[in-house]
Chains A and B, each alone.
Chain A
Amino acid sequence: MALDSDLATLALRTRALSLTVCTTGSATLAATATGYTRLSGSFITDGFRAGMDVVSSGFSTSANNMTGVVTGVTALTLTVSPYVVTTNADGSITVARPATVVEASASGRTIAAKLPSRRAWELVQFTPATGIPYVTEQYVPGGGAVMLTAPYAGGLAEELGMYVLTWYGLSGSGTSAIRKSIDALKALFAPGTTLTVGTDRLTVRGAVGPSAGSIITQDGGFAACALTISWRAETTNAIAA
């Protein structure tokens, strides 16, 4: 049978969701009214850049376990703008901007930049929020199955398709946040990466490897960069009796 496109989309999406652009790992961190601080190590060396979407965890005060946008980075200070986006019944969104609160330094805390928490999955209603990065996806089905072996019935069929992730970062923050994020995503879908799709396999192609476009300024304070992931899937050709 042909590749299950729904399962393939989910497999690719799941892979993208496992992205970690950069992280402090489990570290000793404190919270302030404007973000986080540390006494050792470096947020810059860890890879954080202004414009990144980050998630924090391990703090005792719930307000400090947040999702937010990095607005400033030094070695020992990470300035963030937390946000909470609520989708209303009519599809509109409400954006709250709670602040972090002062909390003394302790170990076992983590801040990480991952796939933006705001994701516009295909055909799911989505409204961008000003100042908050987001990502869109597009699954492009394979360009026709080709029989690789005879006999046709039960033989090996191949499909070639694409999965496109477009990263909408913030214009005005420089290119680093978007570039580092796209590079991390490209590494996550390195040629040869194999995903299980039902009983079939989907492999990221090497002959036409993942490629990122240039960063294009958009309306609303965003800048877009698309990563195109070309894949190949092998399925068993089914001939109707």
Chain B
Amino acid sequence: MAFSDDLKMFTVKVQARNQAVFTGVIAETLNSIVFGSPLTGSPGQPIADIDGGNLRASWQAGLGGPDSTPGYGSPRWESNTVAVIGTMCVYAKSNEDGIARPGGGAYRLLASTGGRWSVRNTINGFQRIVNQVTRDLTGAE
């Protein structure tokens, strides 16, 4: 086997691993926001019996370009955007920070059962998500 064949195989393996890391990170990030995560400290979205589960179910992840992202009008796609995780739920922001917004309510009661600062905690702990997903794929401890 020629050196060039080894290089191609290595490149494919790296690409495959990069792709696996990418999709794993997206999945774990969405999981952190919606269900909470010990990696990030995110509490997750409110449990279903508070608002019928609407907010929790509203979060989606869109991969690829703007046209493939479900449910979003004009997301801020910049040149380096590869995925979008978001919600169209009108009271998501208020549930995140506890500040009342027109049409959204304060939802402080919701926040007390989970949901406050889920997004911010996930952002803060994003590198931990990447590290953990990478570790999982490499089998490192």
Contacts and interface: CB of A to CB of B under 8 A. Distances in A.
B45 interface: no
Nearest to A205: B124
B99 A140 contact: no
A226 B102 contact: no
Interface in B114-141: 116-117, 120-121, 123-125, 127-128
B99 A144 contact: no
A142 B99 contact: no
A2 to B, nearest CB: 13
14 contacts: A140-B41, A143-B37, A143-B41, A143-B121, A143-B124, A144-B41, A144-B128, A161-B41, A162-B121, A205-B124, A213-B97, A216-B99, A230-B120, A230-B124
A60 interface: no
B interface, size bucket: 20 to 34
A141 B116 CA distance: 12
B40 interface: yes
Contacts of A141: 41
Interface residues of A, number: 24
A34 to B, nearest CB: 33
Interface of A: 138, 140-144, 146, 160-162, 164, 166, 205, 207-208, 213, 216-219, 224, 226, 228, 230
Contacts of A230: 120, 124
A166 B99 contact: yes
Given A141-B41, A144-B41, A162-B121, 14 more contacts: A138-B98, A140-B117, A143-B38, A143-B42, A143-B121, A161-B41, A162-B120, A164-B97, A166-B97, A166-B98, A218-B100, A219-B100, A224-B99, A228-B120
B95 to A, nearest CB: 13
Task: Identify which of A143, A166, A208, A230 gathers the most chain B CB atoms within 10 Å of its CB.
Answer: A143
A166 B89 CA distance: 23
B99 A143 contact: no
A217 B106 CA distance: 12
B13 interface: no
B124 A208 contact: yes
Contacts of A161: 41
Contact of B125 (A143, A166, A216, A226): A143
A226 B40 CA distance: 21
A228 B124 CA distance: 11
A226 B124 contact: no
B101 A216 contact: yes
Nearest to B123: A208
A79 to B, nearest CB: 29
Contacts of B121: 140, 143, 162
